[in-house]
Amino acid sequence: MSGAAGGRQLRLGHLPGGLRLLTESDPQAATVAAGFFIASGARHDQTGGQGAAHFLEHLLFKGSEALSAAELNERLDWLGGVHNAFTSQEQTVYHIAGLPEDLPQLLDTLRELLRPALREPDIEAERGVILEEIAMYASQPGVRVLEAMQAEFWGTHPLGQSILGTPASVGALDRAALDTQLQRAYAPHNVLLVVTGALDEAEVWSWAERELGQQWPWPASTASGGPAAESAPSPSGQIRQLVWPGLERAQGAFAWPGLSAHHPLRPAAAVLAELAGGENSRLYWTLLDSGLADSADLGHLDFQDCGSFEGGFSCDPDRADEVTRLFLQTVADLHRTPPTPAEVASAARRLAAETGLRADTPAERLFVLGLENLPQGSERIVTPEDLTAEFAAVTPAQVQAVLSLCSFQRPTGALLLPGS
């Protein structure tokens, strides 16, 4: 499948081994970017193995059989570009960007990154790093209240699994469990390689067919990295109260059911969240402009089979009751006082502009191209320009349709307050 957009040439297809490749050549670009997008994240960690996807992400930077950790990182530093990785609930991503003349070395290094040796000393060293990371986040009030809210909202749903894992689960992960996770999650049908920028399309495809087509180290398996079946959360409908001795700012976090990544009204859900909890939003004028809170927001998160509206606030503990009441009332009032055409138009244009501004360089375009095209089943290649146009085209009727599907009347959440 191929096409052209704004002078850029797009091509998406399968390599002989089953891995997919998406290239976007841009003759006007001054750089190149590449990334492996894996359709497997924290929600796919096995029972009792929470944190495995994130643990693997760390270990991939510890070297392969051909390269030690020091050699791999020296090569990354020599290339001089930007490189990193992240694990989310449904994806793991490894990305790199640099100069066009270094593209062959960038691709070779990225390929080597995904062939980890999983050496026992490296596993033990990274286990310590991750346990410290877990402890660090546990000491942050904002993280504590968010995790409590997510536990109330997601319950036993796989999307409620911690990305980092717990001290117990991370402590129990051994080489065999990590290797099993690697074999299952990184099978070719779960992998999309995206390369964008100043590139020669034919050369990239030739490299991929030679280096990845029949030599992908993790063979196809019958296990899928995606969700096994359509599912939705079962929110408790409760607001849990927690205390934290010496807490200086009260924290609140709340959630309501939203729409999936495949729902046709997904852009309208994002616009609804923006006009309720984004810049110059209803929550802004109610809580921030008035000085009652120092932060207040609402966003829409979409996953493969469901979604959520999530938001929260931070304020002086003495104002926690009032801010909680006004926050939840402002969100619930979206039903009683529907968004005006002006509110919808303003929020839609903000999201369209933000999307456009984040798509100026190959390094920025990479993430839209990778994350939007990672799910299989569509013949259409989604570009940043497509997302910009979708946001700009959202109508008040579509936003009202989202309100008809998603109720904000019963929040689920958590409050973190000072205590002795």
Q: What is the mean pLDDT of the chain?
A: 93
pLDDT band at residue 344 using 50, 70 and 90 as cut-offs = very high
CATH hierarchy code of domain 2-211: 3.30.830.10
Tell me the residue type at 43: R
Kindly list the strands in the beta sheet with 2-5, ordered across the sheet, starting from the edge strand earlier in the chain: 2-5, 8-14, 20-25, 191-197, 32-38, 92-98, 82-87
pLDDT beyond 90 at 215:
no
pLDDT grade for 217, boundaries at 50, 70 and 90: confident
Helix (H, G, I), strand (E, B) or coil at 401: helix
**pLDDT score of 367:** 96
pLDDT of 80 reads 75
Other beta carbons less than 10 A from residue 349's beta carbon: 14
Confidence class of residue 4 from pLDDT cuts 50, 70 and 90? low
Return d(Cα 52, Cα 133) in angstroms, integer.
14
pLDDT in tens, 104-145: 999 999 999 999 999 999 999 999 999 999 999 999 999 999
Q: CA quadruple 254, 256, 257, 261: dihedral positive or negative?
A: negative
Task: Write the pLDDT tens digit of every residue in 61-79.
Answer: 999 998 899 999 899 888 8
The pLDDT value recorded for residue 78 is 87
* pLDDT 10s digits, 11-55: 999 999 899 999 999 999 999 999 999 999 999 998 789 999 999
CB 290 within 8 A of CB 326: no
Please give the model's pTM, rounded to 2 decimal places: 0.93
pLDDT, position 21: 97
Task: Locate CATH 3.30.830.10 in the chain.
Answer: 2-211, 239-419
Nearest-Å Rg of the Cα atoms of the chain is 22
pLDDT value of position 379: 73
Residue 260, pLDDT > 60, answer: yes
Task: Say what the pLDDT of residue 420 is.
Answer: 66
The CATH topology of domain 239-419 is Cytochrome Bc1 Complex; Chain A, domain 1 (3.30.830)
pLDDT band at 332 (very low <50, low <70, confident <90, very high): very high
Choose among 115, 277, 137, 276: nearest CA to 186.
115
Show the tokens assigned to 236.
């408790």
User: What is the DSSP pairing of strand 32-38 with strand 92-98?
Assistant: antiparallel
Rounded mean pLDDT of 222-226? 45
Higher pLDDT, 224 or 388: 388
